[in-house]
Amino acid sequence: MEDWTVQFYLQGEWSKEWVPTNALPEAVKVTLRLKDYGEIERIYLTGGGSLNMTQESVENAG
């Protein structure tokens, strides 16, 4: 593994920090950068969360 990041989704925006302590994010995005496989990105919805992806996000997810 060369690098990894975690981002949190709330109210239509991704953030590298999760500040609210009394609520869950709507989604969590984990990105791994591997030497052999390149970049792998997964988005996990939390309970009750929904995610509106832009067309660019959909194309990049492919």
Q: What is the pTM of this model?
A: 0.70
pLDDT attached to residue 15: 95
CA 11 → CA 15, 43, 55, 57, distances in Å?
10, 15, 18, 17
- The pLDDT score that the predictor gives to residue 4 is 97
CA distance 31 to 51: 17
Q: Domains for the chain: give ranges and CATH numbers.
A: 3-50 (2.10.70.20)
- The yes-or-no verdict on residue 50 having pLDDT over 80 is no
pLDDT at position 31, please? 98
pLDDT at 9 over 80: yes
Cα 42 from Cα 23, distance rounded (Å): 21
Per-residue model confidence as pLDDT tens digits over 14-46: 999 988 778 889 999 999 999 999 999 999 998
